[in-house]
Chain A
Amino acid sequence: MLRLKILLLIAFGIFPAFGFVGSNMAYPIKWVLTNECTLKVNGSTNINKFSCVIPEYTKPDTLIFYKEQKNEPVKMSGSMALDVQNFDCHNPVMTSDLRKTLKVKIYPKIIIRFLSLNRYPDPNKKTDLIKGMVTIELAGTIRRYEVDYKYTAKENDNLNLIGTRQVKFSDFNINPPRKLGGMIKTDDELNVEFILNARILN
């Protein structure tokens, strides 16, 4: 009797479940972020331009792609959490001003969450241009953006992905810094560029 129950359970319980999962679940592809991932922010004031960078991001985070069909949008999961304190504007005074503007004491991290790509990069191409969706969390505000990516394949399943996007201070409820009664003003627009170096696991 017990054997019959087990057989019935297998026949009507587990096998259909496998069938259901198998027909819908995409097999995941994993990219492990390797060393030298960077985030660069370019902006300008009415007296100068600035370029601030978080030069090294070495946490071994993983990006997972749920690929179904070629040339179809690909869901992603994974994120980068960067320390605002690590921003370097190549000028100590500007560096500390940017950190203060981004409210580093209250919100010490910038978090980029990767949501999707419009298609998985073509492995037969050396370079590829694709788009994708991310959310950027900065100063306690989360905004969703479409990002332009440039994919470059390298040797031994290594790859380089450069994402660029123009954002605004005001998107994150941050007032662009202004000095001397507004005579020195920082432009609201910032060009964000993140460079990911990764290795494909499977």
Chain B
Amino acid sequence: MKKIVLPGLISGVVLFILSYGGLYLGIRFFPGLFMDYNNPLFNSESNRDGFFYMHAFVISFALSWFWDRFKGLFHGHFIFRGLEFGFVYAIVALLPVMWITFSAMDITLFMVLSWFIYGFVQAVVAGLLFSKLNP
């Protein structure tokens, strides 16, 4: 349990800083890329902000558990293990979800691709951390 919680927590903090910091900088320096978010599909109220900012920790704990169960399948240098882990997560979890999201919701291809890359990068960073913290 300790092998899951501590790396999950550390990964959550790192992903929180990288994800929301990156999002903040992206909105500040490339505002045109975020115009499509002025869309009624996206929640306008503040009552779910907590859930939004908890996402980094939710994905970190989920990936930490997944890493602990299947880390034996990832071999080699820690960078390669992190990349492979991110790739597996992207193919198994992200691709089907992004596929159905794009097919069912009124969102742009750019938006879906950006979410896919965002999730892939998060999983790679988490994988790099886990391969060091819980080898």
Contacts and interface: CB of A to CB of B under 8 A. Distances in A.
Interface in A157-192: 175, 177-184
B46 A175 contact: yes
Contact of B37 (A91, A96, A179): A179
B73 interface: no
A35 interface: no
A100 B31 contact: no
Q: How many B residues are at the interface, by size bracket?
A: 20 to 34
A4 B52 CA distance: 88
Interface string A13-46: 0000000000000000000000000000000011
A34 B46 CA distance: 42
Interface of A is mostly: mixed
Q: How many A residues are at the interface, by size bracket?
A: 20 to 34
A175 B23 contact: no
B39 interface: yes
Interface string B27-42: 1000110111111101
B82 to A, nearest CB: 27
A177 B40 CA distance: 9
A45 B35 CA distance: 10
B135 to A, nearest CB: 34
Contacts of B45: 175, 178
Contacts of A181: 20, 49, 52-53
A183 B38 contact: no
A83 interface: no
A50 to B, nearest CB: 8
Given A180-B52, A181-B49, A182-B46, A46 B27 contact: yes
Contacts of A175: 44-46
A137 B27 CA distance: 34
A47 interface: yes
Nearest to B30: A47
A179 B43 contact: yes
A46 B29 CA distance: 11
B66 interface: no
Interface string A87-117: 0000101101100110000000000000000
A69 interface: no
Contacts of B27: 46-47, 180, 183-184
The 5 A-B residue pairs with the shortest CB-CB distance in the complex, in nearest-first order: A47-B31, A181-B52, A177-B44, A100-B40, A93-B39
27 contacts: A45-B38, A46-B27, A46-B31, A47-B31, A47-B32, A48-B31, A48-B35, A48-B38, A93-B38, A94-B39, A96-B39, A97-B39, A97-B40, A175-B45, A175-B46, A177-B44, A179-B37, A179-B42, A179-B44, A180-B27, A180-B52, A182-B46, A183-B20, A184-B27, A184-B34, A184-B37, A184-B38
